[in-house]
């Protein structure tokens, strides 16, 4: 029995090469060639640790150390197969585990990316999307998807203390951090209280707060928030660039004016892999 740990594949006897896999820590782009002079760690296929586990450990180490930067695109399965001298199924198993741990995200059709630092979306008596994002040194932007008139359903009617069926404005908005969607929100307001809201929303460049200020409400506060999780709808997954089989966080919130009168009922959907929700008192 020979110990070939630390040797290159070229240095191992021919009969042993089939049991070795070349792993090069801290350099995902290093050339991997039989007979090359790249420093490597040779791992035995019969060492008792599955090859995909070994690959997972190396990539996890590179992600943790910053060799692979947050948001950086990883090599393809084929490139990793060449690097690690294994088949694509073995690589895929390692990538699935890294995704399960939240270390990478797999966007089908686009590639695999190192997970970015989570956005800490802090709910407080004064919750403002732009301020929350800006505090984390990210650029907040928003896009109004549509403004429509809808009858109040049971949840909205209860939150706004009105009869079911009363006409509301519903503002659908997509919120971005550094150009990437991080929230899909639906804001409900009494049409009778804010008759000019639709025009104000479209002239506010995506800011609900500015639109409300234009309608005379310069300050408002969070009265309650309810947080849950579920799988996204097809529309939500598409808008948030989020897999259908990955959970989203959902908030239901009621905002009140300075006199304590309910003036907004909101439902927010957030991709769980990019956003975590906390509550500030």
Average pLDDT, the chain: 84
- The reply to whether 212 and 74 lie within a common domain is no
Residues 69-102 have pLDDT tens digits of 888 999 999 999 888 888 899 999 999 999 888 7
Among 63, 88, 114, the domain-final residue is 114
Between the ranges 53-57, 61-65, 113-117, 150-154, where is the mean pLDDT highest? 150-154
Is residue 107 very low, low, confident or very high in pLDDT (cuts 50, 70, 90)? Answer: confident
Is residue 115 very low, low, confident or very high in pLDDT (cuts 50, 70, 90)? Answer: confident
- The reply to whether 126 and 259 lie within a common domain is yes
Q: Could you tell me the CATH number of the domain that includes residue 192?
A: 3.40.1410.10
In a domain, 71, yes or no: yes
- The reply to whether 208 and 255 lie within a common domain is yes
pLDDT over 50 at 197, yes or no: yes
pTM, whole model, 2 decimals?
0.68
- The reply to whether 77 and 32 lie within a common domain is yes
pLDDT over 90 at 7, yes or no: no
Query: What is the DSSP secondary-structure string of the chain?
Result: ----TT--GGGS-HHHHTTEEEE-TT-TT----TT-----EEEETTSSS-HHHHHHHHHHHHHHHTSSPTTPBPPPHHHHHHHHTS-HHHHHHHHHHHHHTTSEEEETTTEEEEPPPPEEEEE-TT--HHHHHHTTT--EEEEEEEEEEEE--HHHHHHHT--TT-EEEEEEEEEEETTEEEEEEEEEEETTT-TTHHHHHHTTTT-HHHHHHHTT----EEEEEEEEEEPPPHHHHHHHT--TTS-EEEEEEEEE-TTS-EEEEEEEEEETTTEEEEE--
Among 114, 146, 168, the domain-final residue is 114
- The reply to whether 110 and 124 lie within a common domain is no
What domain range is 29 assigned to?
9-114
pLDDT over 90 at 1, yes or no: no
- The reply to whether 242 and 185 lie within a common domain is yes
pLDDT (average), residues 199-207: 91
- The reply to whether 125 and 76 lie within a common domain is no
Of all residues in the chain, the percent with pLDDT exceeding 70 is: 83
Instruction: Report the pLDDT value the prediction gives residue 43, as an integer from 0 to 100.
Output: 52
Q: Could you tell me the CATH number of the domain that includes residue 29?
A: 1.10.10.10
In a domain, 264, yes or no: yes
- The reply to whether 138 and 256 lie within a common domain is yes
- The reply to whether 49 and 91 lie within a common domain is yes
pLDDT over 50 at 22, yes or no: no
- The reply to whether 82 and 183 lie within a common domain is no
Of all residues in the chain, the percent with pLDDT exceeding 90 is: 62
Task: Domain count for the chain, please give it.
Answer: 2
């Amino acid at each position: 029995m020979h110990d070939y740990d630390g040797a290159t594949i070229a240095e191992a006897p021919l009969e042993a090469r089939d049991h070795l896999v070349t792993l090069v820590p801290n350099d995902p782009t290093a050339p991997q060639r039989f007979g090359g002079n790249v420093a490597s760690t040779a791992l035995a296929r019969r060492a008792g640790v599955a090859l995909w586990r070994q690959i997972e450990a190396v990539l996890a180490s590179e992600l943790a150390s910053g060799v692979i930067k947050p948001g950086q695109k990883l090599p393809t399965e084929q490139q990793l197969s060449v690097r690690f001298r294994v088949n694509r199924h073995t690589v895929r198993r390692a990538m699935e585990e890294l995704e399960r741990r939240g270390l990478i995200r797999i966007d089908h059709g686009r590639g695999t990316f190192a997970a970015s630092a989570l956005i800490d979306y802090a709910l407080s008596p004064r919750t403002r999307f732009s301020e929350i994002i800006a505090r984390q040194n990210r650029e907040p932007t928003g896009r109004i998807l549509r403004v429509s008139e809808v009858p109040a359903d049971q949840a909205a009617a209860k939150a706004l203390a009105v009869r079911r069926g009363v006409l509301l404005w519903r503002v659908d908005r997509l919120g971005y951090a550094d150009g990437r969607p991080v929230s899909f929100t639906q804001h409900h307001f009494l049409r009778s209280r804010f008759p000019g809201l639709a025009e104000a929303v479209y002239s506010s460049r995506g800011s609900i707060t500015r639109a409300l200020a234009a309608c005379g409400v310069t300050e408002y506060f969070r009265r309650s928030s309810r947080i849950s999780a579920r799988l996204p709808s097809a529309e939500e997954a598409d808008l948030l660039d989020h897999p259908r089989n990955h959970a989203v966080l959902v908030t239901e919130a009621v905002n009140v004016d300075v006199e304590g009168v309910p003036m907004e009922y909101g439902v927010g959907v957030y991709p769980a892999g990019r956003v975590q929700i906390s509550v500030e008192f």
